[in-house]
Chain A
């Protein structure tokens, strides 16, 4: 499985930890930066990851900033992206099961390193539910995208 990963400066250190965890567990990782703790703008990185997932260069994306909210906002401005800010294991599992999320957004300042690794494990090992009620809701989201996106 191929994972596109990216962070802003506040998420840089956690990105390196998550990247190593993924590589140790045989995931193919594409690192879109940033590459130091020097300040960058989160929309730039979020857009790179969103485009990579949208264009199927990666199966899933992982984005990290201070609390995971800013990068989720930016990534969702791209069609076919369902980015979620996950703050614990249950929210990560439900993001996959109910929302078929394709980008996981993490907070480096709000959630501990080990908890964040557990969130990543849960997100990547959970499948979207195929029951009609979940599928129908995602269809309605798709209708909204078709109406408002180019």
Chain B
């Protein structure tokens, strides 16, 4: 599996560590950013989702301070289903119920009183990647409805 990854400056350090950990098992395309220098998250979110749209990568990982800005931008692209992950359970549900092909991680928010580490993000990534999309009719129907909304609203 090929995974595209990017972050803004707030996610740079954890992105680099996470990409390094994942590169032992997956082919990783790192779209930057490559320093702590302030940059704009829409530019980096776009690089990852375009790579998925082109079929170059199958999944995408985006990191910013809250995960939210990246998530808004990624969902503005057809065929992209992105969600913010903040626990083992949300990592699983993103794949099982939302059929998410992009996962967005917060980097500067404490979860349950703990700082986010690369190890935590690696664990969530593995849960998300190893959980299949649900086969239940109701979940498939809802994803179909998202496709209809996209047909209606996108060029």
Chain A interface (Cβ within 8 Å of chain B)? Answer: 39, 41-44, 47, 66-67, 69-70, 72-74, 76-79, 82-88, 90-91, 94-95, 98-99, 101, 110, 133, 136-137, 140-141, 143-145, 147-150
Contacts and interface: CB of A to CB of B under 8 A. Distances in A.
Contacts of B145: 41, 43-44, 74
Interface stretch (B13-21, B26-34, B88-96, B119-127): B88-96
Contacts of B42: 137, 140-141, 143-144
27 contacts: A39-B138, A41-B142, A41-B145, A47-B149, A67-B89, A67-B93, A69-B94, A73-B100, A73-B146, A74-B145, A78-B153, A84-B71, A85-B83, A85-B84, A87-B84, A91-B68, A91-B106, A110-B87, A136-B40, A137-B40, A137-B42, A140-B42, A144-B73, A144-B76, A145-B76, A148-B78, A149-B76
A38 B104 CA distance: 31
A104 to B, nearest CB: 11
A150 B72 contact: no
Interface in B48-83: 65-66, 68-69, 71-73, 75-78, 81-83
Interface of B: 38, 40-43, 46, 65-66, 68-69, 71-73, 75-78, 81-84, 86-87, 89-90, 93-94, 97-98, 100, 106, 109-111, 138, 141-142, 145-146, 149-150, 152-155
B40 A85 contact: no
* Residue of A99, A145, A149 most packed against chain B (CB within 10 A): A99
Contacts, number: 132
Nearest first, the 4 A-B pairs at minimum CB distance are A76-B75, A43-B145, A140-B42, A69-B83
Given A76-B72, A94-B68, A43 B82 contact: no
A98 B10 CA distance: 13
Contact of B146 (A43, A83, A86): A43
Contacts of A86: 68
A83 B69 CA distance: 9
Contacts of A150: 152-155
Given A43-B142, A73-B100, A73-B146, A67 B90 contact: yes
Nearest to B70: A99
Contact of A72 (B41, B66, B84, B142): B84
Contacts of A141: 42, 72-73, 76
A47 B82 CA distance: 17
A63 B10 CA distance: 27
A83 B109 contact: no
Contacts of B98: 69-70, 73
A76 B76 contact: yes
